[in-house]
Structure 1
């Protein structure tokens, strides 16, 4: 039995602890697919060192681990306190100011200079993911004087949220611009755009990429407020994926709305054929504890049941005491949840129409894979778009995403159910398919005799031209017996184990494969193109029937009904006694 392949991907946030304790390689081996670098913190020098280390280790291990630069975005934070933190009491006054001051128990500076103009008396202000709540009592120039409603500890650089406020701050700050240029210079695979509100926000990033002749970075929209939720359809049209950033989202909207919005965003992302990352506090207790709570394990599993493409660790990996254990825990939960899923039934309920050739071919590919019980779908893709569309349909078997492009190889590490493989570039489809199947075999994803469905685009090398599908049996020589009657035919197989059940799959011209034929099968035999029998009796019913019909007959083909797969097109050589992949 093949070892199950995890379909849901894992994103891990990088932090100093991982590099100081040399945990990057163990994280990759445990199952990390994407390394996330949070540019809300740290210097370029530090990020450069961490990025170089991740690239060096992934290259040494030969793993397609992608890199993601997470922008600071149009966020507001408090600045520093004299002693690093203060404790606020319920009912006290506390001032947020745009003046440069050293923070204390009465006031602290904030990063957004225009906030006094954008906010009104009575507005709610939340700090540190909503742990601290206050209400605006008055605005005096640069000072916003607030009454603390929910006190607690506030430390340096904590985030500030103003629910339902429309802020005039630009989407891309000068720092974000420089961070995007840093991503371009270093060849990051993804940019995660924080606080995405509309399609225009994403287009601003695309404009910077195009200005710098960069066409290899994919953009992930982080949905963190109601504006982003309401505009999700227009955002999905221009973005490469989305992140359900439940931290800030859970502050901006009522807490009880978050589960419903999570499901909605995942469903919309799947429908659009875009990867969806579910993030924030998935295994939060593992920052300090070696095991998660039961509620956290259920949360991770429910995101997988919802169909999320990836699950993300934030503090658990960046600053936690058990980062490798957190990844291992996610892997176990994912495999267990995925084992519960009836992917074929889910696919059959998908009634969405195919709007173009690529979608139609991808839908047909998954349908064929399910009908034929294929071991894998193997796609050859230049840009990764075919693999991502196949992923949209959530097939029961693994998607093997073969590409000639290194950045696509890594980016496909984020796509649900997809195992990325690098292959050599070829000028014709047959050679490309052969290399793709060989790569899948070498990596233990498929084995000789198994049936796979191949898909690609012709002409080769042009993105978005997927228009070809082929059913293929892995390996060249599939079965051997004694050739009893000569001739050679190329035709689809019809494997008969149970006559009543399997006869309905027979089509005129098929090669009949069974242990031994019977009189009841004669009408089928007359329409068949060849007969392959496990029974080795040269005077048996099938042998005599085949010779009388003057069609190729092979007897003594051991275990043929288990090795050969219905629907696969093969070459039957009645003289040599062989069945070969076509």
Structure 2
């Protein structure tokens, strides 16, 4: 059983029912919808297809809505593309003009107010590098430090500049209104800078979609791609439901050579708080146009797995690539190989979060992981109504597979993002006795256990208690029926 999850971005190359089914069969755990592209009608069709196909296949597949955020972009370029020459002088303007080799338009009206002399402006994922020499009304005069080809709608980054635009924009609000109404399982907030950015969107979700049960409010994934987010990482982790290491913009906004170190540090910190973390951007980029990855990409995916990431993400590889299904299959093979190493050398024997100081649920889940190894358990079994038990079990990085049951379909789908967790639905049960019987029947019916196999079962007692994991039982399959 593969533990590290795969997030696939859907797009023109992968939004057909046939390809979505093939992606799920190949190992897609989470379908990402990038709201920087496409319209709500296209995304609605993808949501329906993922739901219908995953239900037919009996697979829990989560849907992640990735909001556009205050992404600053180049406007229209004359003839679509132009060469910006190193050493030349250009003007970045908020005036509604067509772009040329010396005039670059943008619709970001606050640009002249945000930058100053000496500010750095990077275009096209950092390929083109400008330095501000003068600000004059609607025009920002720049010297070109590194040139290159520039086409319409490419991204603009302002490293070291405080961007005045909010992380949660009016367009994002409209898109999220649509997304939650359509039943997305997670929402990713772009360009997070501080915990207040996450708190703002959480408050908006509760005010507009709260039903008195916070566990059913859509979880927020904070995308870490700004230097301010690195500075406030600990505080962001306290209010977010998960993290995405968005290495594309992160590698433009911060020194490129520091990205691998930041990746490892973010994953390490997330493990201590049981937050799921997604490692994203250019993981198998060459497979957008080639059927096999580069050796460096293979190492990149494997190293993210060995770092302990919950999930690895594919972007253009599956959304617009020529080999979307083959890419997922390849990623699965790389993950399998890395996880074999992970368990063979007991890399994760010293588990994160060993000091719990009165945190009973965390202590119970760590004990469960040790007990499962000591008893040779076939499975660690969890029952959750909020997902918290599953997250605590997941962070143990146990070599024993984990299956977590919930009777809420939205919680079951969310579990698809968590490392090592096999999500399963269970009808409501009245007590722990009924829970154990249901577990036996479900696992026997799927052929995942045999009578007499040892299990370690974790839940909350009384069984309807939410967010209070306090029950652990060592159990052999079928022993309840034998009484």
- TM-score tier, shorter chain, comes to over 0.9
| Aligned partner (choices 364, 369, 382) of residue 367 of structure 2 | 364
User: Displacement, 1:293?
Assistant: 0.4
Corresponding residue of 1:174: 170
User: Displacement, 1:102?
Assistant: 2.3
Contact 1:221 1:242 (8 Å CA) reproduced? yes
Corresponding residue of 2:355: 353
Corresponding residue of 2:83: 87
**d(CA) in 1 for partners of 2:366 and 2:167?**
37
| Aligned partner (choices 434, 446, 449) of residue 449 of structure 2 | 446
SS at match of 1:278: strand
Question: What is the total number of aligned residue pairs between the two structures?
Answer: 476
CA deviations on 1:197-244 (whole Å, 9 max, x unpaired) are 111111111111111134331111100011111211111111111011
SS at match of 2:98: coil
Contact 2:271 2:395 (8 Å CA) reproduced? yes
Contact 2:380 2:457 (8 Å CA) reproduced? yes
Q: Any gaps of 5 or more consecutive residues in structure 1?
A: 477-569, 571-579
CA deviations on 1:359-411 (whole Å, 9 max, x unpaired) are 11111111111111211100111111101111111111111010101011110
User: Displacement, 1:93?
Assistant: 2.3
SS at match of 2:209: coil
| Superposition pairs of residues 452-491 of structure 1, within 5 angstroms | 452-476=455-479
**d(CA) in 1 for partners of 2:398 and 2:107?**
47
Corresponding residue of 1:565: none
2:249 is aligned with 1:248: yes
SS at match of 1:121: coil
User: Displacement, 1:88?
Assistant: 1.6
SS at match of 2:14: helix
SS at match of 2:78: coil
Q: Residue 307 and residue 120 in structure 1: after superposition, are their counterparts in 2 closer, same or farther (change >3 A)?
A: same
| Superposition pairs of residues 17-166 of structure 1, within 5 angstroms | 17-20=13-16, 22-166=18-162
2:7 is aligned with 1:11: yes
**d(CA) in 1 for partners of 2:57 and 2:76?**
41
What is the RMSD of the two structures over their aligned residues, measured on CA atoms? Answer: 1.7
Superposition TM-score, scaled by structure 2 size? 0.95
Corresponding residue of 1:271: 272
Q: Residue 52 and residue 108 in structure 1: after superposition, are their counterparts in 2 closer, same or farther (change >3 A)?
A: farther
**d(CA) in 2 for partners of 1:148 and 1:247?**
22
User: Displacement, 1:286?
Assistant: 0.4
Corresponding residue of 1:376: 379
**d(CA) in 2 for partners of 1:581 and 1:301?**
45
2:411 is aligned with 1:405: no
Contact 1:269 1:275 (8 Å CA) reproduced? yes
Q: Which has the higher contact order (CA 8 A, sep 6+)?
A: 2
User: Displacement, 1:350?
Assistant: 4.3
CA deviations on 1:312-359 (whole Å, 9 max, x unpaired) are 001111111111111001100001110111385623354631141111
Q: Residue 240 and residue 95 in structure 1: after superposition, are their counterparts in 2 closer, same or farther (change >3 A)?
A: same
Corresponding residue of 2:221: 220
2:290 is aligned with 1:289: yes
**d(CA) in 2 for partners of 1:345 and 1:320?**
35
**d(CA) in 1 for partners of 2:448 and 2:252?**
43
Q: Any gaps of 5 or more consecutive residues in structure 2?
A: 211-215
| Superposition pairs of residues 181-260 of structure 1, within 5 angstroms | 181-214=177-210, 215-260=216-261
SS at match of 2:25: helix
Larger Rg: 1
SS at match of 1:22: helix
Corresponding residue of 1:341: 342
